Structure 1
Amino acid sequence: MTLEDINALPADQMAAFLRTTCTAERWIERMVAARPFKDRTDLLDSARIHWAGTNADDWRQAFEGHPMIGDIDSLRAKYHASKDLSNAEQSGATGASEATLAALADGNKRYLKRHGFIFIVFASGKTAEQMLELLNARIDNSTEQELKLAAQQQLKITLKRLDEAISET
């Protein structure tokens, strides 16, 4: 989709497009209202500005838009090499061991129980082992710390998704 396409979308279709990048409704509403965007930089800057105007409730809403990695089968699908993996956000996480996959599944469940939301991390280029290290490093943080860290990670994810969704032609 080009920037011109985005600027021309009816509000409901623009909201649906934005929902594929971030599910925080307040952010979506503000982004829809911010159009037209002059260029890619303007779009991404607007995303940053409007994310900065969100709060913990918005962040949690955005986190709910992510699937939780909670079972071995979904972890295998996500972290083992496949022809589609290059398009996935976790493209660097190939060939994970069964022990790592099991530890990720367990860690994600413990994280959710402790903090009340799923573990959010900008995963592009990270291996399953790196993801596990990050999860283990963050799990004992306070929930307040984790909300802020996860919100920062969510912004990185959103910006990458927006950037990749915009074509030049």
Structure 2
Amino acid sequence: MESMAKVNYLIGEDEFLACCGSTEFAKQMAAASPFPSLDQAIVAARDLWFNKVDVNEWLQAFSAHPQIGDSPPSSHHSTSAQWSKGEQSTALATATSSSLQELVEWNSRYRQKFGFIFIICASGRSTTEILSVLQKRYPNRPIVEFEIAAQEQMKITELRLANLFSTKTNASMSSDQFPVTTAAKKTEEDRMSIIGGHLTAVSESSDRKASQIPVRTRPPITTHVLDVSQGSPD
């Protein structure tokens, strides 16, 4: 991933909470701030998410998202809710009444089986594509699906961190009264396009899936994490 300009901005816990709904994740990211670049923030985020926060924090982050096709409730973090709308904009723009109804039914079926909502990095995906992925993942064992959902949550977090750093950079340039040239805008758009394309790419091959799973420094999730008989977390 191409590095963005070094910024060294101190980012608060609430801002990280908009990127990922785990309070412990946000707290630890804020404590580690400032980060000299987006890339280094993402490295820290991956390490925290996959190796340091517990599975209850994963569930808390999952619950901070609206179901695909639904509007975020008023109780959700305002910035997170705004980003959710943007991430689901393609799905909503391509939806029909029948596809939305089918998505609602499959969302309900998924939640009943696994105990948490269907998590997918929806940016740039149509309703049909999202529904297809949901149906493909539905037969998974709970322990497998839990890991996949965590990986999708990290993709969303990385995309939002990119948005956050971009906003910080633009705000700094504006406050310092630095003119933003057309070339600079184009460079920033190209960077964000690369980031977005990288984060929302569908992992179809097993080799690609393997490359997306970070090396763990803690033991993998054990079968006691999920109550398989109930289809929900302990």
Q: TM-score, normalised by structure 1?
A: 0.80
Answer with 62-71 or 151-160: which moved more: 62-71
Q: When the two structures are aligned, how many residues end up with a matched partner?
A: 150
Q: Offset at 1:33?
A: 1.6
Counterpart contact for 1:112–1:119, Cα < 8 Å: yes
Instruction: Compute the RMSD of aligned alpha carbons.
Output: 2.2
In structure 2, the partner of 1:145 is 144
Higher RCO (CA-CA < 8 Å; seq separation 6+): 1
**Unmatched runs of 5 consecutive residues or more in structure 2:** 1-5, 72-81, 174-234
Larger of the two Rg values belongs to structure? 2
In structure 1, the partner of 2:61 is 62
Counterpart contact for 2:68–2:88, Cα < 8 Å: no
In structure 2, the partner of 1:108 is 107
In structure 1, the partner of 2:50 is 52
Q: Which runs of 4+ in 1 moved over 3 A?
A: none
- For 1:96, the aligned partner's letter is A
1:127-166 pair list within 5 angstroms: 127-166=126-165
Q: Offset at 1:63?
A: 0.3
1:23 to 3, 11, 21: 21
Q: What does the per-residue CA deviation read over 1:1-52, in whole Å, with 9 as the maximum and x for residues that have no partner?
A: x944x41x5xxxx111111111112211221121221122211211112112
**Unmatched runs of 5 consecutive residues or more in structure 1:** 75-83
Q: Offset at 1:57?
A: 1.4
Q: Offset at 1:98?
A: 1.5
- For 1:29, the aligned partner's letter is K
- For 1:52, the aligned partner's letter is F
In structure 1, the partner of 2:125 is 126
Q: Offset at 1:58?
A: 1.4
Identical positions, percent = 35
CA–CA distance in structure 2, aligned partners of residues 151 and 112 of structure 1: 15
Q: Offset at 1:146?
A: 1.1
In structure 1, the partner of 2:38 is 40
Q: Offset at 1:149?
A: 0.3
